[in-house]
Amino acid sequence: MEQAEQIKEIEQFIQYLTAERNYSANTARAYSIDMYEFADFVKKNKNVDLVKCDKNIIRDYLAGLYNKNLKKSSIIRKLAVLKSFYKFLVITSVIDVNPTVSMATPKKDKRIPVFITEQEIANLFDLPDIDLRDRAMIELLYSSGIRIEELVSRNLKDIDLLSGTLKVFGKGSAERIVPVGDKCLVAIKNYIDQRRANGLDCSINSPMFLNMYGKRITSRGARKVLHNWFIKAGIVKKVSPHTLRHTFATHLLDHGCDIRSVQQMLGHKNLSTTQIYTHVTLESLRKVYNSAHPRVK
């Protein structure tokens, strides 16, 4: 099989992910990059057909990634891509046996997510010069726990100001409805009123958040804007818009919300993904216990 045919197999795989599995363009692009990286390894080091790779070749590839000190999470992702690719080749009758079927996925290192304290959140919202759009974006991220990509892709029709809910389409186009707090609803309404006063589009199908040119704000643009406000609020730890998602989950659990509800609001498929936040809340409980229990010391 020539390199051109290898590219064809990969392109058919990527098309399958987007057309049949409803993968986002960003995810499909990442899968494509990983597959072509593996194809390049096979061509340069093994001189065999991509579709004829066995598990030993794949293990050599993964071992090379380990030797390059690549993060375990990245290696796990690349193996998952290969598993999906060869499963696709079996489904489409290109190969009979999936070489990755018996390969175990390494356990991912559990890292306690970075979150912002309640005082830091208060400092952020107390900034006097946040414009209405940016305040509405920050309020919505913290109030709903949605991802930055979910935020920028929302339209005005997705927010119900009366019921206080937001319709979100997450990974794999999975739809969920999340509650939105009163302060956030006020911030969004104020921003919409400002847009309307400035003659900007406020129809239900218009983007929820606009950039300075009146177009939908991009994920990159939103990240840059929010980063500036984090700095102004004096938050010195390394944070990102996703930190607000971690903060949302942590603060809910700290205040007694059950983990199943947090899982549903975050849109996590597996409860184990949500359980990482319990490490944070347990640490908070430990501090309270140590300071309050008379028999600790």
**pLDDT single digits (tens) 194-209:** 999 999 999 999 999 9
Q: What is the pLDDT of residue 110?
A: 63
Assess contact for 83 and 70: CB atoms under 8 A.
Answer: no
**Tokens 């306690």 — which residue?**
112
Q: Which domain holds residue 221?
A: 118-291
**pLDDT single digits (tens) 56-98:** 999 999 999 988 888 888 899 999 999 999 999 999 999 999 9
Q: Please give the biggest Cα pair distance in the chain.
A: 74
Is 113 inside a domain boundary? no
Percentage with pLDDT > 90 across the chain: 60
3-state secondary structure of 159: strand
Q: Given 44, 73, 91, which residue is the final one in a domain?
A: 91
Residues in contact with 192: Cβ distance below 8 Å, sequence separation at least 6, in sequence order: 156, 202
**Given the residues 154, 245, 246, 251, the one annotated as active site:** 245
Respond yes or no: is residue 242 known to be catalytic. yes
Q: What is the pLDDT of residue 48?
A: 81
Respond yes or no: is residue 277 known to be catalytic. yes
- Looking at the structure of the chain, the number of domains it has is 2
Co-location of 127 and 250 in the same domain: yes
Respond yes or no: is residue 171 known to be catalytic. yes
Is 112 inside a domain boundary? no
Respond yes or no: is residue 245 known to be catalytic. yes
Confidence of residue 2 (pLDDT cuts 50, 70, 90): very low
Co-location of 127 and 78 in the same domain: no
Separation between Cα atoms, residue 66 and residue 201, nearest integer Å: 51
**Given the residues 23, 61, 191, 277, the one annotated as active site:** 277
- pTM (global) more than 0.85: no
Co-location of 230 and 273 in the same domain: yes
**Given the residues 78, 133, 135, 147, the one annotated as active site:** 147
Average pLDDT over every residue of 92-108? 85
Q: Residue 175: what are its φ and ψ, rounded to 5°?
A: -90, 140
The CATH number linked to 85 is 1.10.150
The CATH number linked to 184 is 1.10.443.10
Is 101 inside a domain boundary? no
**Given the residues 83, 167, 171, 227, the one annotated as active site:** 171
Is 249 inside a domain boundary? yes
3-state secondary structure of 165: strand
Is 297 inside a domain boundary? no
